[in-house]
Structure 1
Amino acid sequence: MSKMTSKNFFRNVRDLPYSQGHRDRANMYTSCKDSKDLLQRMQLSKALAVHEGCVNTLCWNSRGDCILSGSDDQRLVITDCFTHKIVAEQKTVHKANIFSAKYLAENDDSVVVSCSGEGLILVTDMTRKDMGQRSIFKCHYGTTYNVQTVPGDSNTFLSCGEDGTVRFFDLRQRSNCLQSSCNEDVIVSWEGAVTTMAVNQMRPFQLAIGCSDSTVRLFDRRMLVTKSAGGKPEEHFRKSALCAFTAPDLENSLYRVTSLKFSPNGEDILVSYSADYLYLFNVNEIACNALDTSSSSSTRKLNSKSAPPIKRLRLRGDWSDTGPNARPESEEQISQVRPTLQATLMQRMTDVLARMLNDPATRLALGGVSDNQRADRPVAAASQSEENAISDSAPVRESSSPLPSSSSAGPTMSDDRDSDDLIDSDEEKVVNDDVGLHLSRTDVMTPCARQKYVGHRNARTMIKEASFWGDNYVMSGSDCGHVFVWDKNTAELVMLMEADKHVVNSLQPHPYLPLLATSGIDHDIKLWAPMAETPYFDILDADRLMVRNKIMLQETRDTITVPASFMIRMLACLNQIRRGSRPLARQRRQASADLS
């Protein structure tokens, strides 16, 4: 009997009845995902309508028969993906949108850790009939973006957030913490937001974090200690930093990292950037020269005071530039003979406000008088809150303001939060200077980018997951409502799947079967399987979509999204400021006339 190979799916299927051991079965599963023929047969198998809001996070259980989901409706749901029935659900005490949820390891797929927009972290027993909350942590200030569990460890997990900290929790030491901005569990502290992270499943001691300065940092987690464990984090800093890297074209830019994913063999890491593209790095290919982060781009100081020039304002809940039917503004102006009254009214409001904000007289009035300095804050705060919550503009100016809306800013949520919360966010920011790991003190190595994947659009939401599909392919969600799949080695686009009416945020390949789960702005979970009779991929349609996405990605830059109440208050405020400056302008003109 010849040894099975993971490269030939049909040979593996033929030889499976005569093979022995789990390795042969694993080879067959791997070859399923490495088959381009099967990949191009992927079709929608089932849509699971188990939520009443945007679905922001998905996670398969260890057996691969159930999937965990978290949503804007603050509910956690476990669904059997083969019977399509809800196995367990909990209405949590989260007050904002659930951004990340994972099964806690070695707990029979029943205990879940989750985080949300208000910074709350919950450990929930999904088997309990009442509210299954076991632990609650309020340590983060502002949004908590991501939680990660540790393979084989049922008592520990990590979290990261807008406050610039990465925290390590051990339920054997503490089961609850109600103190805001607590320093006990901090292992990393940085000047800006830590927007995502990943644990290497093959080397669980490796921790990668994605920051809002375009940089990914890799650490040896064994060297990171918490204050609650009696350690002094700063003593082991140099030993813990393995490497720091960013995409070659983004070295002088501030772009949020929306997704990090280690490859199945643990050697590559896939990085997705907001307002840019997808990159593949090999963490074993380290450059020969060390980077001095005190002077490199990995320690760029963030300028939260400066506001970018505003090209366009978008009303929160406006998804007109997303989905399969979205077109660039230039095409819409040609094709739209008679726009709707609502679209016309909103566009006129945004145009007026944009002109007022960019008017030199308004900027002078905003910046020239001390009493009006506070009025200038909403301009920056609007940009910051948009990038914190939705990542709508390419450059990132940091703020630690709590996230006021969904990762996708879905229309089902309270989009009109009082803008005073945004105005005061800079003054309330808490920086943990006495603990944790300050990333500007060390020399680290940097790997080089192996590949760049283009064609999709990642601008509207801060959650835009990317993942590996077997050993030969990578995939990502997109603002055009499609899932893009590329050849890992050549970066050639090989498959498109229309998976959402607006934005595909989360995608999770099955642990071993050629099944895919996706979610986004739509209120359901979509399951995909290779069910088509023949492979299908229209390269011409794909090329047209890629061109549209490239144009619309450029149009999205320097765009801010604001709630309606904020827009009305800003118009009133700016109008009052401009009226107050008119007498001064008249006096200057009169003085000039007298002199002449």
Structure 2
Amino acid sequence: MSTDGDPLPLNSGDSNPLLDTLAPMPLAPDTADPARASEVDSVGVHPNPVSLSGSSISSPASPASSPSDPRVNGGLRRRKIRRRVSSSSSSSVASSSSNRASPTPSSSTSSAEAFADADEDEDRGSIDHQDPPNPRRRLAIEDALNLPVMKKPSHALKARPLRSLMEREMFAKSALFRDQFIGSSSLVERFELSYELSGHMGCVNALDFNETGTRLASGSDDLDVFIWDWERRRPAFSFNSGHRANVFQSKFLLFAGDTHVVTASRDGQVRLAELSATGTCNQTRKLAQHRGPSHKLTLLPSQPHTLLSGGEDGAVIHIDVREPKPGRKLLVQKKNEKMVPIYSIDSNKAQDEIFCTSGRDQYIRLFDRRKPSSALKEFCPHHLNGDSSMKTNVTCAVFSRDGSEVIGSYNDEDIYLFETEHSNRADFVKRYQGHRNSATVKGVKFYGNNDEYVISGSDCGHIFIWSKEQESIVHVIVDADEKGVVNVLEPHPHLPVLATSGLDDEIKIWLPTSKNLVTQETIAKIVIKNLREREDSNTVHEVDGEMLMEIWRQIQRNRAARVRNESFIGKGTLKVPQMTTRMMRMKGREREFNAQLLKSTQDAFHR
């Protein structure tokens, strides 16, 4: 035994705190014998020996160990651990011999395939909890952990509760106290589902907190807008939006005590709802009309009565709710004299003359609304610039709080961050990987009072949270949507609270209360699964994702309407003439949808 430095007291009668700390860990095998090392490694023991002050501790199964060795008789707890590891080691001898007889997976087998094969083995019940783990699954996990996104430096922004609390009380630094805690990874890593808000009868496409964070507005495929008292887990009131198709956006205007809500819809209308203090909607009126669906609105902090809307007709409309004709076309986004549909629009909070758009091409464009004739700058990752083989769209782009950065989520690609001060056509500076954005028009947001994180939903039904600076995955909120896709994320303006929605009819509220952290192994499995699905989708002909979403929404609307009609007839509250009128209205909407579907299909194949 080598003795570098002072040896630790390992007498049987003495209690060694360092060894007690290591007691729950399986002891490492003697690496002098490769066969023994591989056998013990098959049950999950690390092959490297544990060294205490230069002393190598041998495995209990090693011939070098004996019952009289003081390292073995160092306490009752260590003897129990030793017996458990010894039994595991002995049982692994037979299993390892059978493993040697079976063919080893080739190095050309991908991690995704290994995961798939291991999942099939588990479904057949061939893996028991006492057996060694499937070698292909272990290989896949190791490969996944070696992916670039999994090897990013970890985010270590930890809160200091006592120091921050003292500074808040002694120096009135309440804002600093709040910022440190909301941006602390100790809280971000613990987001879990707290409760759901139920009331909508369709997919929830829009969420927006008011300035104080006391109310939450939501818009849905059921054409209703709900104003939620989210802390009490109930709606304050709801009203019909006046739209004829899916509500894509609902926002509180920045004046008059949250009594005005603007909405945008698939029907292309931008509407204003005027609310009363008693919790009712006085009226809704049309502010502007796009010649195609309007997905997003953005408010102008310096002018609380104004907003901008973007639509799939490529137009940006400037709206002032005080004017008799509030809508004024600001620009039409074009590329090579061809109109580019807009999916997203966002204003710079620090300088709201500047706004950005994204849509059905690979560019994020910055405009000045004082000189909107041409874009100030265009940003696109260089590997996507000019590549005609990749029909990449930017489903959402948003500014940071200070306007120095803009992030964009690319469909079936990654999320990229650009510096707005960089020159025109400059490449990205940060890249966030691991999620999947293919099926829907998916949002992306900064999170934290200092924009410490980037958050996005995914087609796998999970929510990804990355460190903005390190690009590493800080947390994955697992199973955030039962039907599989998370589209909308809305952080609370002042608290560590997150509201999300997707294909489910419910809104989910997430709080940092979980006692269990998601392991890196779980994150690696999710990442490799998304990577496999992305690779598979590139090998087949894909139908337009927007068209698939419209088919899904139509099925959901018809199902919800049938349920409502059956319940009304059962209660005797719906007469036959009313039923006939409602069914005729549904038939008319179905014919209109079929015509739109046919046109979308033709456009998709022509592209």
TM more than 0.5: yes
CA shift at 1:7, angstroms?
7.2
Question: Given that residues 29 and 514 in structure 1 are in contact (C-alpha distance below 8 angstroms), is that contact kept between their aligned partners in structure 2?
Answer: no
Change (3 A) 1:176 1:491: closer
Find the partner of 1:247 among 373, 381, 385.
381
CA shift at 1:80, angstroms?
1.4
Change (3 A) 1:266 1:71: same
CA shift at 1:130, angstroms?
6.0
CA shift at 1:159, angstroms?
0.5
State the percentage of identical aligned residues: 30
Number of the residue aligned with 2:300: 150
Find the partner of 2:436 among 438, 450, 457.
457
> What is the rounded CA distance, in whole Å, between the counterparts of 2:268 and 2:183 in structure 1?
39
Please state whether the residue corresponding to 2:179 is helix, strand or coil: helix
Stretches of structure 2 that go unaligned for 5 or more consecutive residues are 1-156, 556-589, 603-607
> Does 1:511 find its partner at 2:511?
no
Number of the residue aligned with 1:216: 364
> What is the rounded CA distance, in whole Å, between the counterparts of 1:280 and 1:187 in structure 2?
25
After superposition, the C-alpha distances for 1:8-42 in whole angstroms (9 at most, x for unaligned) are 4422123322222xxx2221221112211111121
Find the partner of 1:500 among 478, 481, 484.
481
Please state whether the residue corresponding to 2:323 is helix, strand or coil: coil
Number of the residue aligned with 2:22: none
Q: Give matches, 1:460-499, under 5 Å.
A: 460-470=439-449, 471-498=451-478, 499=480
Question: Given that residues 461 and 505 in structure 1 are in contact (C-alpha distance below 8 angstroms), is that contact kept between their aligned partners in structure 2?
Answer: yes
Question: Given that residues 280 and 452 in structure 1 are in contact (C-alpha distance below 8 angstroms), is that contact kept between their aligned partners in structure 2?
Answer: yes
Number of the residue aligned with 1:528: 510
Number of the residue aligned with 2:345: 197
CA shift at 1:454, angstroms?
0.7
Change (3 A) 1:460 1:151: same
Corresponding letter in the other structure for 2:295: Y
Question: Given that residues 477 and 507 in structure 1 are in contact (C-alpha distance below 8 angstroms), is that contact kept between their aligned partners in structure 2?
Answer: yes
> What is the rounded CA distance, in whole Å, between the counterparts of 1:266 and 1:9 in structure 2?
28
Q: Give matches, 1:8-407, under 5 Å.
A: 8-10=159-161, 11-20=163-172, 24-127=173-276, 131-175=281-325, 184-190=328-334, 191-224=339-372, 234=373, 237=374, 241-251=375-385, 252=387, 253-284=390-421, 286-287=422-423
CA shift at 1:460, angstroms?
0.5
Please state whether the residue corresponding to 1:250 is helix, strand or coil: coil
Change (3 A) 1:214 1:103: same
CA shift at 1:223, angstroms?
2.5
Question: Given that residues 194 and 211 in structure 1 are in contact (C-alpha distance below 8 angstroms), is that contact kept between their aligned partners in structure 2?
Answer: yes
After superposition, the C-alpha distances for 1:147-203 in whole angstroms (9 at most, x for unaligned) are 1111142321110111011110122333567xxxxxx42334421201101111111
> What is the rounded CA distance, in whole Å, between the counterparts of 1:512 and 1:450 in structure 2?
28
CA shift at 1:91, angstroms?
1.1
Number of the residue aligned with 2:526: 545
Please state whether the residue corresponding to 2:501 is helix, strand or coil: strand
> What is the rounded CA distance, in whole Å, between the counterparts of 2:473 and 2:183 in structure 1?
15
Compute the TM-score of the two structures, normalised by the length of structure 1: 0.61
Pair member with larger Rg: 2
Question: Given that residues 213 and 256 in structure 1 are in contact (C-alpha distance below 8 angstroms), is that contact kept between their aligned partners in structure 2?
Answer: yes
After superposition, the C-alpha distances for 1:398-421 in whole angstroms (9 at most, x for unaligned) are xxxxxxxxxxxxxxxxxxxxxxxx
Question: Given that residues 106 and 152 in structure 1 are in contact (C-alpha distance below 8 angstroms), is that contact kept between their aligned partners in structure 2?
Answer: no
Please state whether the residue corresponding to 1:506 is helix, strand or coil: strand
Corresponding letter in the other structure for 2:394: V
Question: Given that residues 464 and 476 in structure 2 are in contact (C-alpha distance below 8 angstroms), is that contact kept between their aligned partners in structure 1?
Answer: yes
Please state whether the residue corresponding to 2:356 is helix, strand or coil: strand
CA shift at 1:129, angstroms?
6.3
Question: Given that residues 212 and 257 in structure 1 are in contact (C-alpha distance below 8 angstroms), is that contact kept between their aligned partners in structure 2?
Answer: yes
> What is the rounded CA distance, in whole Å, between the counterparts of 2:196 and 2:190 in structure 1?
18
Change (3 A) 1:223 1:9: farther
Stretches of structure 1 that go unaligned for 5 or more consecutive residues are 1-5, 178-183, 225-233, 288-444, 575-596
Please state whether the residue corresponding to 1:108 is helix, strand or coil: helix
After superposition, the C-alpha distances for 1:101-146 in whole angstroms (9 at most, x for unaligned) are 1111112112111111111111011337665434303521011111
Corresponding letter in the other structure for 1:530: P
> What is the rounded CA distance, in whole Å, between the counterparts of 1:246 and 1:76 in structure 2?
35
> What is the rounded CA distance, in whole Å, between the counterparts of 2:235 and 2:224 in structure 1?
12
After superposition, the C-alpha distances for 1:227-274 in whole angstroms (9 at most, x for unaligned) are xxxxxxx5xx4xxx3211112222124322111121122211111111
> What is the rounded CA distance, in whole Å, between the counterparts of 2:248 and 2:160 in structure 1?
36
Aligned length: 384
Corresponding letter in the other structure for 1:81: W
After superposition, the C-alpha distances for 1:371-402 in whole angstroms (9 at most, x for unaligned) are xxxxxxxxxxxxxxxxxxxxxxxxxxxxxxxx
Compute the TM-score of the two structures, normalised by the length of structure 2: 0.60
> What is the rounded CA distance, in whole Å, between the counterparts of 1:482 and 1:7 in structure 2?
24
> What is the rounded CA distance, in whole Å, between the counterparts of 1:258 and 1:77 in structure 2?
25
CA shift at 1:494, angstroms?
1.3
Change (3 A) 1:170 1:114: same
> What is the rounded CA distance, in whole Å, between the counterparts of 2:158 and 2:465 in structure 1?
19
Find the partner of 2:542 among 528, 549, 559.
559
> What is the rounded CA distance, in whole Å, between the counterparts of 1:87 and 1:129 in structure 2?
7
| Superposition RMSD in Å | 2.6
Please state whether the residue corresponding to 2:460 is helix, strand or coil: coil
Please state whether the residue corresponding to 1:545 is helix, strand or coil: helix
> What is the rounded CA distance, in whole Å, between the counterparts of 1:526 and 1:248 in structure 2?
37
Corresponding letter in the other structure for 1:474: V
CA shift at 1:281, angstroms?
0.8
